[in-house]
Structure 1
Amino acid sequence: MPSVPQTYTISDFIEWNSKKQLLLAPDFQRGSVWSPSAKVFLIDTILNDYPIPQVYFRTNIDPVSQSMLREVVDGQQRLRAILEFASGKLKLTSKAPRHRGKTYQDLDVEDQELFLSYKIPAVQLINASNADVLEIFARLNSYSVKVTPAELRHAEYSEPVKWAIYDATREWHVLWDTYKLVSVRDSVRLKNTSLIAELFMALDDGLDDGGEHAINKYYKTRKDEEEEYFKPLRERMDLIIREILDNAEEGFKDTTFFDAPNFLALFCAVGFLRGFLPNSRATIEIEGLAGVGVDWQIGRVRLAEFAQAFDEQDDEVQRYAFFVAASKSTTHRISSRKPRFQALVKALHRNVAA
């Protein structure tokens, strides 16, 4: 059973489909389940000439009829989206900002040519049996690196909750590129989406327990929400992040506040003082400070003191004891988050002693 790696253009797949030489729903594949957003994102990837994963298909050759039938064994969703767009049935949305509102027929000739000539990497399994196909995928999967929870969510969900978080992660790339809130290695594994998800969760429900289990629950409970639901959350998130970065002094990005756990605490403190954060278990005892505003002139001094105390691991000084001790403990539990959050709220509010 030969396996032949090759590349084929999108026009090849269109031709095979029109001649009924392409089977998109063999026993190996699920039914069509991609959301419109996922389809548009793929088309945008192609129109930007970025690579997409290879597809696998079993090529059954009949020497008597001199015909070939290609059964897609991996990549059905991608090919369905491509063929749907090529037929004019898929209109691009905000997930394809350069071509928003366009169908294939609305594209410039140059973009149509780019789309049709785009090369898709593929592996042909010539006259492979079902057992051969299953064996191949068992072997491929045996070499796979275990996926992270963030990667699993990105693969599992196609609803607006995923795209709201993913788009924010991508557009706030300065947090990873410049401020190194999440390392490049972890960003490749989509762990930066976990931090952005926590920011959405705090703005939506208030600061509480976090971590991957809580993020999974948030995706699940928000999967039926439309895109409009997340827009005000995103707007508030952008305002808070921009305010923090605008007030970050030279060297501040090298402090604990640009480690993900304490950045989250700082984000929530600023959001709470701006009136953007709902009350939760973390705000008990300080509800009266919600929306009173931030004094960055004093706050910058106090944040520097917090950072120095953290660097020196000085939890003997009463003024910073709760913050330093809580920063040493698990970062996902409310028992650790609450004292750090409340200490920062008090540090950033001009009328309350830290």
Structure 2
Amino acid sequence: MPSIPQTFSISDFLTWDRQQQLELQPKFQRGSVWTPQAQSFLIDTILRELPIPAVYIRTRVDAATQASIREVVDGQQRLTAILAFAANRLRMTSRSPEFAGMRYNDLSQNQKDQFLSYNISTVQLLNASDADVLEVFARLNSYSVKVTPAELRHAKHDEPVKWAIWNTTREYGVLWDHFHVVSVRDSVRLKNTTLIAELYMAFMNGLGDGGEDKVNKFYKDNQAKTEADFLAITTAVEHAIDATIAMFGEQFADTTLFDAPNFLLLVCAVAFVEGALPTSALTADVIAKRGAGISLENAENTLPLLTSAVENNDIAGAYAGFVAGTKSSTQRSSTRKPRFNAIVNAISN
């Protein structure tokens, strides 16, 4: 069974569909339906000329018509969305800020040309039997890297909670590309969305335990919320990130404060002393500092002592709790509390 990797334009797929040479629902497909938001995100990806996953088709010759028939064995939902948009049946949602509310006919001629000429990586399985197709996917799956919890969560959810967190993650590429708060390698696996999700959790519910299980529960608990429900929290989170970068990015970029576990607490501490972070059991010891305001002079004098204590592994000094909390499990309240308290005291009036 030959398999041929090729690229075909969207125009090619539209032609095959018009000529009834494209089967979108063979027995290999699961029949699930993408939401309009997911469809819109795919079209946005194409219009921005970014890559999408390859499509697998089984090509056979129909003896009666003497025409090639292409059965889509992987990529049904992608092609369904593409065909619907090309037929002017799909309106872009807010998942695509630049094209929100637009249909295909609303695009400029240049945008239409780019859309139609967009190349889709395609693997043709020539005259493959059902057994051949199953063998191909068994082998593909055997080489797959185990998905991270963040990747699984991103694939599973399509509610506004996911997109609010995703949009903030994407908006702050400087955190991953420049400051390396989460490494580029881990960001590719969407681990940076976990950090942003934990910020949303803290700004909604107060700072507490973290970790993937807590983030999964947060997504589940907020599935019913609308986009409007996240506007205020998004603004608060992004304001705190901006303030943190502006005040501390240049001086502390290469320190533990810009590693994900302590960066989370630094952003929360900034919001807390500005009065924007809700109180919780974890913040009880420094409640008097909530809304006290930031003292840059205090921060410039004290934060270097925290980072130096970690670098020197000073587990007996004045900042032993901060050092111990940084060196051990960083997701539990018991280790977050001394670190949060130390940062709040270091930056507040």
| TM-score category, normalised to shorter length | over 0.9
The alpha carbon displacement at 1:144 in A equals: 1.3
The alpha carbon displacement at 1:154 in A equals: 1.8
Distance 1:8 1:340, change over 3 A: same
Cα deviation digits, residues 118-149 of structure 1 (max 9, x gap):
11111122222221111100001111111211
Cα deviation digits, residues 71-130 of structure 1 (max 9, x gap):
211111111111111111222234333333211001111111111111111112222222
**Equivalent residue, structure 1, for 2:285:** 285
Aligned equivalents of 1:306, 1:105: Cα separation in 2: 58
Q: Where do residues 183-332 of structure 1 align in structure 2 (5 Å cutoff)?
A: 183-248=183-248, 250-317=250-317, 319-332=318-331
* 1:210 counterpart letter in structure 2: G
Distance 1:290 1:215, change over 3 A: same
Is contact 1:34–1:158 with CA below 8 Å preserved after alignment? no
Q: In the alignment, does 2:151 pair up with 1:151?
A: yes
**Equivalent residue, structure 1, for 2:170:** 170
- The CA RMSD measured in Å over matched residues stands at 1.7
The alpha carbon displacement at 1:335 in A equals: 0.7
The alpha carbon displacement at 1:249 in A equals: 6.2
* 2:319 counterpart letter in structure 1: Y
SS in 1 for 2:305: helix
Aligned equivalents of 1:55, 1:149: Cα separation in 2: 25
Cα deviation digits, residues 240-276 of structure 1 (max 9, x gap):
1111111126441111100111111111111122222
Q: In the alignment, does 2:99 pair up with 1:99?
A: yes
SS in 1 for 2:27: coil
Is contact 2:58–2:73 with CA below 8 Å preserved after alignment? yes
Q: Where do residues 75-154 of structure 1 align in structure 2 (5 Å cutoff)?
A: 75-154=75-154
Is contact 1:35–1:159 with CA below 8 Å preserved after alignment? no
The alpha carbon displacement at 1:328 in A equals: 1.7
**Equivalent residue, structure 2, for 1:8:** 8
Structure 2 portions without partners, runs of 5+: none
The alpha carbon displacement at 1:223 in A equals: 2.2
**Equivalent residue, structure 2, for 1:66:** 66
SS in 1 for 2:68: strand
Aligned equivalents of 2:97, 2:177: Cα separation in 1: 22
Aligned equivalents of 1:29, 1:276: Cα separation in 2: 48
Aligned equivalents of 2:293, 2:106: Cα separation in 1: 48
Report how many aligned residue pairs link the two structures: 349
Aligned equivalents of 2:268, 2:71: Cα separation in 1: 51
* 1:346 counterpart letter in structure 2: N
Is contact 1:203–1:233 with CA below 8 Å preserved after alignment? yes
Cα deviation digits, residues 212-265 of structure 1 (max 9, x gap):
111111122222222222221111111111111111264411111001111111
* 2:339 counterpart letter in structure 1: R
Aligned equivalents of 1:216, 1:250: Cα separation in 2: 33
Q: TM-score, normalization: structure 1? A: 0.93
Aligned equivalents of 2:249, 2:140: Cα separation in 1: 49
Aligned equivalents of 1:226, 1:20: Cα separation in 2: 40
Is contact 2:299–2:347 with CA below 8 Å preserved after alignment? yes
